[in-house]
Amino acid sequence: MASSRATGRSAPPQLTDAETVAGHKRAAARAAAELVSDGMRLGLGTGSTVAYLLPALAERRLQRVRCVATSPRTAQLARELGLAIEELGALGELDLAIDGADQIDPAGWLIKGGGAAHTREKIVAAAARRFVVIASAEKAVAQLSPPVPLELVRFGWQSTLAALGDARLRAAEPAGDLMLSPDGGLIADYFGAVGEPRALAARLSAVPGVVEHGLFPPEMVSLILIAGDGGVQRRSGGKPDGSALAPDAR
């Protein structure tokens, strides 16, 4: 094959790893945006992949879509794009929630909470008839590994960390202050082995002072969209897929 030098044509620029990952995130987000229809009550997650979802939704110019955001940052970005943001209590059951993940294992277990909003994200996912996870290919792993994000009550946090074992509070970058959840809880990370996720989830939940952990079980997830070089892969989750359910007339 003739080289680019021989043909007089310049070779296409090589994408950096960061640009490749960004393209994958954008592809997963656009695929998820196509699942949203007029009149839906929609949960919006938090994080870098959701940041690509919001403009994809705005471009579709859907009518009467009412959204709840899992973080102030998502709410701000959504409002700037013209999306309607309301409180979860005003919306009740959601038709669909879309969010990213930090890790996804072959069984459909997730680790979430890199953005410190996993408590709200879990509440919103549980409130949705259908929960769709979007991710770039590197988030799919053979086995979950630490850290597992935690939200802790401030009172007695030292005792909570001691009971957890291998865990420590997370510092916010670049200031170095302690990271807080959107609701003011302390954010920590558990660094012990994950092992069997269900057993660890039960153990973390049983420690007094733990508000919520970042392990999301497969039965909470309806669909996983993972984008890579070969396109967007669809994986079924353990939650019955409510895609055939149209939003209620409103």
Tens place of pLDDT for every residue, the chain, 250 residues? 444 444 445 444 555 788 999 999 999 999 999 999 999 999 999 999 999 999 999 999 999 999 999 999 999 999 999 999 999 999 999 999 999 999 999 999 999 999 999 999 999 999 999 999 999 999 999 999 999 999 999 999 999 999 999 999 999 877 778 999 999 999 999 999 999 999 999 999 999 999 999 999 999 999 999 999 999 999 999 988 655 444 553 4
Q: Which residues are catalytic?
A: 121
Angle between helices 48-60 and 72-80 (to 10 degrees): 30
Q: Which residues of 2-35 are buried (b: 16+ CB within 10 A; e: fewer)?
A: eeeeeeeeeeeeeeeeeebbbbbbbbbbbbbbeb
